[in-house]
Chain A
Amino acid sequence: GAVVSQHPSWVICKSGTSVKIECRSLDFQATTMFWYRQFPKQSLMLMATSNEGSKATYEQGVEKDKFLINHASLTLSTLTVTSAHPEDSSFYICSARLLAGGRSSYEQYFGPGTRLTVT
């Protein structure tokens, strides 16, 4: 089946520093990847939609300059949290959709998530 990986799985950083999270589709190509944030005991909230070779589309209320997204290839998207603060502490999950059609094209495959703690 389609596998999406995220690195790192967890990270602790100091306030004011930047953190990069990678999302990779391991065995398929994904023109579109999505970045979600999940606070404890809450649902997933879409932050942005990342398309290979173009600028990401951010959801309302998500700061573009704070959450930098780069989708450099069909298998890699990165989310950089710049000047992180304690309120950015959350569980960040990416997902990717298959490029090709067929039954599986409607499925989004999720990465295992990255737990960010900002101290």
Chain B
Amino acid sequence: AQKITQTQPGMFVQEKEAVTLDCTYDTSDQSYGLFWYKQPSSGEMIFLIYQGSYDEQNATEGRYSLNFQKARKSANLVISASQLGDSAMYFCAMRDEGGYQKVTFGIGTKLQVIP
């Protein structure tokens, strides 16, 4: 079974500063993918970044980077130069790459950017 753990229910960050959102996972699968999604108050889920379990380099997408430490089973999201529009819920998720490729979500972290 897959499990995603996000231990930070809420985080504050000053505008223009960087912030790290923690995510650890547990799986017995050899091949899996790790995702981060942003959910603003409107409810839509916005894809941010993806890391494959066999990718050797950490994924980056603009201001987002994923700090992937496979041995520690962690996949932290780093947001650089925070903006007010970054205030939202952030979900870490994992997908097994076999079968139906089911995605399991963490409980989320609420990020608030302070001006």
Contact = CB atoms under 8 A, between A and B. Distances in A.
B74 to A, nearest CB: 18
Main secondary structure of the interface of B (DSSP, over half): strand
B68 interface: no
Interface string B76-115: 0000000000000001000100001111111110000000
A67 interface: no
Contacts of B106: 43
Contact of A34 (B43, B44, B103, B108): B103
Main secondary structure of the interface of A (DSSP, over half): strand
Given A43-B91, A106-B33, A106-B50, A113 B44 contact: yes
Interface residues of A, number: 23
Contact of A46 (B44, B52, B91, B103): B103
A95 B102 CA distance: 11
A113 B100 contact: no
B101 A32 contact: yes
A44 B100 CA distance: 17
Interface of A: 32, 34, 42-46, 49, 51, 57, 91, 93, 95, 97, 106-113, 115
Given A44-B91, A109-B47, 20 more contacts: A32-B100, A32-B101, A43-B91, A43-B105, A43-B107, A43-B108, A44-B45, A46-B102, A49-B102, A57-B100, A93-B45, A95-B45, A106-B33, A107-B47, A107-B50, A108-B47, A108-B103, A110-B37, A110-B47, A112-B43
